[in-house]
Chains A and B, each alone.
Chain A
Amino acid sequence: MRIVKVLTVLAVLLAVATFAAAEGPVLLNAAGATFPYPIYSKWFDLYHTAHSNVQINYQSIGSGGGIRQLLDKTVDFGASDGPMNDEQLKQATVPILHFPTVLGAAIPAYNVPGVQGELNFTPEALSGIFLGTVTKWNDPSITSANPGVKLPGDDIVVVHRSDGSGTSYIWTDYLSKVNPAWQSKVGKGTSVNWPVGLGGKGNEGVSALVQQTPGALGYVELIYAIQNHMPYGKVKNSSGVFVKADLASVSAAAAAAAKFIPDDFRVSITNPEGKAAYPIASFTWLLIPSKFTDSAKRDVVKDFLKWALTDGQNYAEGLSYAKLPKEVVAKEMKAIAQIQ
């Protein structure tokens, strides 16, 4: 009968597809931060080229997503630029280890008609903009820091993240440190109750919105602004110097923390001491479970980590991420042994 024939064909198709590539390759699924997505995607690609039977499928859905999927155990490991807090760590059935991978910076990218160069932003200006108290580009808090630049009277279109984001965590962590009003009104977190603005999904979405909306100001990871040729500003650090985010200033931000980094590697380096330090920088972490049931996966993860902390670091600067300080790398190599 025709139906039987059709069903047989379908069953054969199904069987073929199921067994097509079943044995051999080690497939890992990971999800999380969009902040380091450019370098992670490069790393996983390079690693796959070097070890053709390993595929690490990383989906950039935001740090919040990475943490959640890790806790739900639907991915093998996660990534986040906002470290997991104690409450989240308690929810994990297996202890989660944080492994910093690179250093990056959250920068204010903007799209102001008529302004091509760099603008200087003070902490007051930035927190005012995001609180919604500073609404126009020619507001005194901005013009006073930028003498000689003609700023239009256009409205500032604030762009923030619509998804759970480590980049948001870094940004709100900084704003909470520099502005008590922000701290009490909004606070810090991967998802906050933003007073104003448009929401974009991922660093990708925020970059796209800033590019497409005249008058926009949003926070993104440095590489996104560079890859998409977007102007971004300098931020005044705790020593009063306007610093632009680059390899030197980000490394300077981590320098102080590097020597005293805690064993679980969870540390915030926003608004640090140091004249050359960029105030809104951060480590970004891979969130690795300390116990793997699949030994093949565990071995791949450990090997990948070792590679990322050594050879992988050489690719960081090409994508404008700063390398990890040597002390941190040494400590992490020892910590890899904790993964079982």
Chain B
Amino acid sequence: MATTPNAVTPTEFTATPRSLLRRWTGADEIAHLITLIAAATLLLIAVLLVYQLWILSAEARTKFGWSFFVTKTWDPVAGDFGALPFIYGTLVTSAVALLIAVPLGVGAAIFLAELATPKLSSSLTFVSDLLAAVPSVIYGLLGVFLLVPVMRTTIQPALKKTLGFLPLFQGPSYGIGFLTAGIVLAIMIVPFVLSVSREVLLAVPRDQREAALALGATKWESTWKVVVPAARIGIFGSVFLALARALGETMAVTMVIGNNPKVAASLFSPGYSIASVLANEFSEATGNLYLSALIELGLVLFLLTFVLNGLARLLILVTTARGSGVLPT
């Protein structure tokens, strides 16, 4: 029997009762179709999500327009809704969280990428990943019962005494508020900063470090002045990723932020974040305008995380591509 060297035709199997499916010659097409439908379902869900958010927020969008974003009042009785306190609260708590988490995470990443032995590095990263897996409500639990009293009795008064001249640290210290929420968020997002930064640092080619050391730099100088700048873009990516995560955190923040829609300069003040107001008021918004305003807030949150995540992925992609030589540095 002569067979051509390159073409292989599928031979037909004798059918056994179990293999009804095998007899279908169009099986490949069906499989292609089924898997395509599955993948398309995801696209459909995403489109549906955006559509729902858009349609259900229509009433508020048409009524308030752009002024929604700069109005401070949130008055369900008068039907006057403004997003500013929530956007402010979300941004402030996230900023505090980043200020704490980024140095901590990048510092730890430097240690793990440059100094630790590979074994130590991967075990500590393992532990950090476990930290990322802790549910938000557990952080909330610890926040309410552990952190808040400590903040109220020790940390906030200490800050007031030393840095009280800044408007940031003035006002009565309740224990709950922007600062506490920011601290809880910081612990939650450190693992993200750590793991991504570590990866981008590891992706920087060895010769960069060795060149610096050959020129007489100390290990720290080589790291800080050569490696980190080379990985800078990816580290920014990790910051965006962590920020996107912080913006959407709901439970832990709701439990310690104070639930008061106010724009205040002091970090000790209670506030409100977009995710928290949704959690608290969504199931009770009486009246279509109220509900629609809440959903518009949800839409804002969605868009914010959408943009940030997109940017983050792009930055990380660029850095790892550079590091592995795909893109020129």
Contacts and interface: CB of A to CB of B under 8 A. Distances in A.
A65 B283 contact: yes
Interface stretch (A192-200, A223-231, A310-318): A192-200
A62 B282 CA distance: 12
B76 A163 contact: no
Nearest to A87: B287
Nearest to B176: A198
A64 B280 CA distance: 11
B174 A193 contact: no
B286 A190 contact: yes
A104 interface: no
A213 B284 contact: no
A162 B272 CA distance: 10
A157 B172 contact: yes
A192 B174 contact: no
Main secondary structure of the interface of B (DSSP, over half): loop
B323 interface: no
A212 interface: yes
Contact of B286 (A64, A198, A212): A64
Residue of B76, B174, B281, B283 most packed against chain A (CB within 10 A): B283
B175 interface: yes
Interface residues of A, number: 33
B78 A193 contact: yes
Given A192-B75, A197-B260, A201-B259, A164 B172 contact: no
B281 A164 contact: yes
Interface size of B as a range: 20 to 34
B28 to A, nearest CB: 17
B148 interface: yes
B266 interface: no
B267 to A, nearest CB: 15
**B73, B172, B280, B287 — most chain A CB neighbours (10 Å):** B280
B259 A199 contact: yes
Contact of B172 (A68, A155, A212): A155
Interface in A58-94: 61-62, 64-65, 67-69, 71, 87-88
Nearest to B288: A91
B75 to A, nearest CB: 4
Contacts of B172: 155, 157, 215
A162 B283 contact: no
Nearest to B149: A212
A138 interface: no
A194 B286 CA distance: 17
A198 B259 CA distance: 6
Contact of B174 (A162, A187, A213): A213
Given A88-B286, A198-B259, A163 B281 contact: yes
Contacts of B176: 198, 213
Q: Which 3 A-B pairs have the closest CB atoms?
A: A199-B259, A65-B284, A64-B284
Interface of B: 73-78, 148-149, 152, 172, 174-176, 258-260, 270, 272, 280-281, 283-287
11 contacts: A62-B284, A64-B286, A162-B280, A186-B77, A189-B76, A190-B76, A191-B77, A191-B284, A192-B76, A201-B259, A214-B152
Interface of A: 61-62, 64-65, 67-69, 71, 87-88, 155, 157, 162-164, 186-194, 197-201, 212-215
Given A163-B281, A164-B286, A212-B175, 12 more contacts: A68-B284, A87-B287, A155-B172, A157-B174, A162-B281, A191-B77, A192-B77, A197-B260, A198-B174, A198-B258, A200-B259, A213-B174
